[in-house]
A and B are shown apart, each in its own frame.
Chain A
Amino acid sequence: MSADPLSRTFAALADPTRRAILARLANGECTVGELARPFAMSGPAVSKHLKVLERAGLISRGRDAQWRPCRLRAAPIRKVAHWADGYRRFWDASYERLDAYLDHLESEGKDDDAAK
């Protein structure tokens, strides 16, 4: 298991079931049973995913041994967003410019070099 927090977050987010669990938790806290239902998955299988999410700090579990409701913890996701921010600044701005530039090329009918 990767040691640094950003890697733990990436590894935890790399699984579609875990992303779906986080999306569900964004609507409010749930028990393991409630989380398992839409995934057609056993309680232990869901618990395994929850452990990964908990280690990455993406969720927290309640103290109550019977219910242990899961709650979303968004701070690590913000760190990933911060990491991606440099890329976003480059590409968002470039792609907005490209929209206008493609308009310009199309209006000039200048697609003669497309086949090059």
Chain B
Amino acid sequence: MTPRSDAPAAAAGRRHETNYSTPSERELVITRTFDAPRSLVWAAFTDPKHLPHWHTGPDGFTMPVCEIDLRPGGSWRYVWRNAQGREFSATGTYRDVEPPTRLVSVTHFEGEEQTSTTTFAEESGRTTVTVTMLFASKASRDRGLPYAKVGTEMNHARLDAYLASRR
């Protein structure tokens, strides 16, 4: 995997590994532990005043829109913007909201659907967050949904910059 050279310096010191697994051909599971109590981590994942501070993916992206109606049936809308001003948006609906342990939401993106289940488990003051993304079909899995798109966009932006520098 590509090494990251642009990690925020402030995060140095305490860091856990992010684990990715594919238990079935329609699922992607992302697991990460944070050195913080569950109530705080839950807030960071569900409060629109916190998310734009961190949920922005590759460096250079911002999150100008973060709207959250945190209740079963409530909807959410995120917009990310890259350094060139290009925007990516995703919307979804909450299915299940059980603070501070479990969050289930359906993401709608470019006509595809994906169900994400996020669980928060606390042990000795640390919180392990597990995000399970279930894709509606193999086709939607292969196309990738907003997170994959925003992540991949960084490569494209780098390529653009590289090509521009060669002109």
B-facing mask of A78-95, CB < 8 A → 1, else 0? 001101111111111111
Query: How long is the Cα–Cα vector from A15 to B167 in the complex, in angstroms?
Result: 49
How many A-B residue contacts, CB cutoff 8 Å? 142
From A6, A87, A100, A115, give the contact of B151 (CB < 8 A).
A87
**Interface flag for A96 (CB, 8 Å):** yes
Determine if B149 and A94 form an interchain contact, defined as CB atoms under 8 angstroms apart.
no
**Complex alpha-carbon distance, A114 and B36, angstroms:** 12
The yes or no answer to B15 lying at the interface (CB within 8 A) is yes
Evaluate contact between A84 and B57: CB separation under 8 angstroms.
no
Given contacts A10-B22, A14-B22, A100-B10, contact A89 B40 (CB under 8 A): no
Determine whether A2 belongs to the interface, using a CB cutoff of 8 Å to chain B: yes
Is B152 part of the contact surface with A, judged by Cβ < 8 Å?
yes
Q: Indicate if the CB atoms of A88 and B1 lie closer than 8 Å.
A: yes
Cross-interface CB contact of A93 among B1, B4, B155, cutoff 8 Å = B4
User: Known contacts A90-B150, A92-B4, A115-B39: does B53 contact A13 (CB below 8 Å)?
Assistant: no
B residues contacting A by CB (< 8 A) are 1-2, 4, 6-8, 10-11, 14-15, 18, 20, 22-25, 28, 30, 32, 34-37, 39-44, 47, 49-50, 53-59, 99-100, 131, 138, 142, 144, 147-152, 154-155
A98 contacts the other chain (Cβ, under 8 Å)? yes
Bound Cα distance A93, B151 (Å): 9
Looking at the complex, which of A32-40, A46-54, A101-109 is the stretch in contact with chain B?
A101-109
Contact B149 A84 (CB under 8 A): no
Instruction: Return the contact of A85 from the options B36, B43, B57, B151 (Cβ within 8 A).
Output: B151
Is residue A4 within 8 Å, beta carbon to beta carbon, of the partner chain?
Answer: yes
